[in-house]
Structure 1
Amino acid sequence: MAPSMSLPRSALMNVHLPYMVQYPASADYSTALKHGAEGFDRARQMIGFLFDIMDYESSVPQKLTLEDKKEKYTWNHSDNFPPHLAIIPEDHKLGSHEIFSIVRLVQTLLIVGGIRFDEGLAPGPQENSMEKLAKWNAKRHQSQGWIKDMFNEPNIGLRNDWYTDAVFAQQFFTGPNPTTITLASGTWMKRFTEEAASQAKREVVALFRSAPPHSFYVQDFSDFRDRMGANPDEELRSEDGTPRYGCASVALFYLPPNGKLHPLAIIPDYKGSMAASVTLFNKRVDPADESVDQANDWPWRYAKTCVLSADWAIHEMIIHLNNTHLVQEAVIVAVQRTLPDSHIVFRLLEPHWVVTLSLNALARSVLIPDVIVPIAGFSAPRIFQFVGHAFTNFDWKALYVPTDLESRGFPLDELDGDKFHNYAYAKDIKDMWMALRKFVSSVLRDGKYYPNDSAVAADAQIQDWCNEMRSEKGAGMKKFPKSISTLDDLIDMVTMCIHIAAPQHTAVNYLQQYYQTFVPNKPSALFSPLPTSLSQLESYTESDLMAALPLEAKQEWLLMAQIPYLLSKQVEQDGNIVTYAATASNNEDPIIAAAGRELSADLDNLASVFLENGQKLDDQNAEYNVLAPDQLANAIVI
């Protein structure tokens, strides 16, 4: 075995960590946010320091043999999380959770410690109306000093129309989670049609019958209970601190030929059947109907809040955490264990890893248990089962961008038409996938690497990678391919791994600041029980919606608002996909260099295409440029 300069993992017991600053309780909001941001950065630096000296993310890369890497990169199956890097061997007396508990002991994550004790840092019961909350939000943006915080950047609460149907619907096309809206199945259409008939909603039934085919879409979170291991009628709620409630919402939308997505019906909390659930229909069946006062339609506004709260859960725990961070870590560990550094697939994937392992370690030790769980509307066991289910059932091929869009009812050859002109995410992510796939294909199809399908099938190390991803002793991801035996299969999988780390994570991470720092738009949980009957929901007033917000739970409000700000840090120029392509253009391997030059040209072209896509949106109040190449992170770095 070749000698390694890597620090033995057992030596961590004697490592002196970078000095951490403990701030006193802050006297004002801006200072508290500044301390929070600094604390988060210091926590990241500390974890990064550990991973650097351990050579998992070394600033001085080490040349390790495959045998070295198999010994170094081992799996942890012993905690609540899906399989991940075992920082400390499982048979060692000091567990990884103990190594990182120092983060909690010294309160390095000051988003929890530094602002916890100041009662004046969040709106209180006196902001007991939506109008007052909007004014409070606007005032925070106006009274800015020299300290940069989340109120230096606009959020959705500054819009006079933030609560309207149009803005609500558009979030599912260009918001933090534009990935789950799906063509309504025949089953859902039958359910909603029967329910509309039973409630004598004749205008709705008429629309169902007269609309063109493929006009109805859903945000379907009805399976939350099943995925969490809960009974159909079980109340979803937290088990710690302030009572918080979750919901398994379903929202039905109408997408007419003009492309203006419009919500028609909402089930705030689906409990296994329509009979056991409450269904509310929008009074505004026609989106052009101005006879309804949207600002004061409190039952409907409450129902929309339920949908956005459920969307917060699926977005933060599954779409963002699991489907990018945790899945990418599985790829990193499996590839390190099965492919030597010289393997062309390793060389294509490795630049997109950067600090993912250390970030995930920080997330597992602090962010998830100490920040996400305490503000979610579900118990910790339910959350961990939710995430574990998503990880095990992550369907790699089904989530390839072209396949995913087609299966959700967005045909690739129709995306440029009027009907889908507001779905900028779909158009941008499709084009970015094609550009990345072209780059990967240009490299792998070269005769030096894989002259034909037989060369792929004969690559035992690629098959080892498949086995490592599927094995119960490895990642345990049963929907990873059993084998990769053709060039197209390999190109698609390598493209997918880059897609997860770069454009997909960028799309679902960097818009949180705008949409989520104004808590009423997308609360992480509800703070009062959900209605149990339609008559109860229809009687709701503004006070019922205000009771569902954390006005009496300042810590939860602050975390809901602060975390999106911390996680939406602007992408550095040296970490964007443009810089990656430029670096690849100068690679010592002429095959990669040539492909890199093509990628640079393609990205330059996509910059103008994406700008044009954004300019076609009906809503020009919130620009959609998150996937612009110069803003697209090359890896999961936050």
Structure 2
Amino acid sequence: MIPVLIRLENRNDGKPQTWWTPPKPGTDKEDPEYLKWLLAKIYFRSSDLNRYSLCAHFARAHGVGESFGVAAYRNLPNAHPILRLLQPHIQGIVPVNVQARVIFMNPEEGGFSMFLGVGDETRKVFDNYYKQFCYEELLFPKGVEDRGVKDIPEYLHRDDMMANWKIIESYVIEMVGLAYLSDEDVQKDEEIQNFCKEIVENGFRRFENGAGFPKSLSTKEKLIELLTAIIFNFSFYHASVNFQTFTYSFAPNFPTCMRMAPPNQDEVITMDRILDTLPVGEIAFLGYNVAYNLGVYSPIERFFLGDAAEDKLGIIGENMAVAPEQEACIRRMAERMRELKVKIDARNVGRYLKYDLLSPDNVPLTTQT
């Protein structure tokens, strides 16, 4: 995509919005026309970083996921086959989120208000995001269709996410098939019905129509869809937004905040103006430190595929399945993922920059960071 226009506005002081366009080809890099476009892009990147960190990452992956974890633990007993299916993916979400809220979201502790552009308005950002959030956002194939990106060539993120979605879906189909022989079995399962009800009435009670989540389930198909979305959100979606945070470790590329308000339309932009706008060294270092720590694996991380050389434990060691038929389902899923890993490795041969972010051996089972 090629940007052709950027609109900037500063609502804090009531100044009017401004419109910035690219310089003519061949414009000298010291020319104010070139520098004003550069500054506009930096403002955009900073705003996008704030949206990405708070909305795409924490609100979408962590916040939404916590509702599923709490609902599962409150309504599904240890012996329930669906809790055993979800356990490797929901474990850890509550303490991780509590820690994030205490340290990062709390203005009294500094947290994000120290280095993100939203300052103390973190909760307002979350409110604005959740006003448009709905259940269908968790359904990745539908998102591909709705955004019209199904046929874009070399869209590796879409290809890998779709491939992993299909593997997770096949796995869930098999596991649900072992637990429920018919739609009627799903309807009669009071515990799974209470699980869905809890998500709507408590997890998303402030949302219109429970954010579109099903309050009850009448078919195996809808149960499979919901469980696939939950597992995918905890694992592959979270990995896709968490483990590439190194991109904002260099402040001029992705500044966490800007020290000056957006310029007036007729302001002459100089390099000094740009440097005075970028965060100070201490804030840039803090942003780098957070980016680095979010982008590395936790020591307790567990992955879909294990690798003894890297001391990774795969899902076989984490599952709560007790029946041979259940373990066979897990092993078939792992085999499909190994086949996908081979394809991804082959695709990356000869590439200047390989894309293996969503290779199953690099994707943790749950949300730890």
Q: Once the two structures are superposed, what CA deviation does each residue of 1:399-436 show, in whole Å capped at 9, x if it has no partner?
A: 3110112112212xx2xxxx431x32111111111111
For structure 1, list consecutive stretches of 5 or more residues without a partner in the other structure.
Answer: 1-260
Counterpart mapping for 1:219-238 below 5 A = none
Structure-2 residue corresponding to 1:496: 229
1:405 match: 144
Select the residue among 285, 290, 296 that pairs with 1:563: 290
Shift in Å at residue 366 of structure 1? 0.9
Q: In the TM superposition, what are the counterparts of 1:182-581 in structure 2 within 5 Å?
A: 261-269=1-9, 277-283=17-23, 291-293=26-28, 297-369=34-106, 370-380=110-120, 382-391=121-130, 393-411=132-150, 414=151, 419-421=152-154, 423-446=155-178, 449-472=179-202, 476-477=206-207, 478-479=210-211, 480-513=213-246, 515-533=247-265, 535-536=266-267, 539-551=268-280, 554-570=281-297, 575-579=302-306, 580-581=314-315
1:598–1:586 Cα change, 3 Å: farther
Counterpart amino acid of residue 310 in structure 1: S
Which residue of structure 2 aligns with residue 23 of structure 1? none
Give the Å deviation of 1:352.
Answer: 1.1
Structure 1 residues 586 and 359, CA gap change in structure 2 (3 angstroms): closer
CA–CA separation in structure 1 for the residues paired with 2:7 and 2:17: 7
- Show CA shifts across 1:85-118 (max 9, x none): xxxxxxxxxxxxxxxxxxxxxxxxxxxxxxxxxx
Aligned counterpart in structure 1 of residue 339 of structure 2, from 605, 624, 629: 605
In structure 2, C-alpha distance between the alignment counterparts of 1:503 and 1:328, rounded to whole Å: 13
SS in 1 for 2:216: coil
**Residue 589 of structure 1: aligned partner:** 323
The number of residue pairs the alignment matches comes to: 351
| Superposition TM-score, scaled by structure 1 size | 0.51
What's the CA shift for 1:504?
Answer: 1.1
Separation in structure 1 between the aligned mates of residue 142 and residue 64 of structure 2, nearest angstrom: 19
Helix, strand or coil: the match of 1:445?
A: helix
CA spacing shift, 1:361–1:576, aligned 2, 3 Å: same
Structure 2, unmatched stretches of 5+, are 307-313
Identity of aligned residues (%): 22
The offset of 1:615, in angstroms, is 5.7
How many Å apart are 1:349 and its aligned residue? 0.7
Instruction: Find the residue that maps to 1:625 and give its secondary structure.
Output: coil
Q: Deviations over 1:575-619 (max 9, x none)?
A: 1111444337894322321211211111111113333555697xx
Query: Which letter does structure 1 place at the counterpart of 2:367?
Result: I
Distance 1:469 1:495 in 2: 15
Q: Is the 8 A contact 2:301 2:364 kept in 1?
A: no
The 2-side partners of 1:300 and 1:555 are apart by 26
Higher RCO (CA < 8 A, seq sep 6+) = 2
1:468-512 per-residue CA deviation (whole Å, 9 max, x = no partner) reads: 112158764511223222212111111111111111111111111
Structure 1 residue 444, shift from structure 2 partner: 0.5
In structure 2, C-alpha distance between the alignment counterparts of 1:565 and 1:469, rounded to whole Å: 33
> Over aligned residues, Cα RMSD in angstroms?
2.6
- Give 1:389 shift: 4.1
Read off the aligned partner of 1:576 and give its amino acid letter.
F
Structure showing the higher helix proportion among its residues:
2
Q: TM-score, normalised by structure 2?
A: 0.86
CA distance in 2, matches of 1:628, 1:315: 22
Counterpart CA distance in 1 for 2:30 and 2:214 is 50
Contact 2:62 2:93 in 1 (8 A): yes
- Rounded to whole Å, the distance in 2 between the matches of 1:270 and 1:433 is 40
Aligned partners of 1:292, 1:608: CA distance in 2, in Å?
46
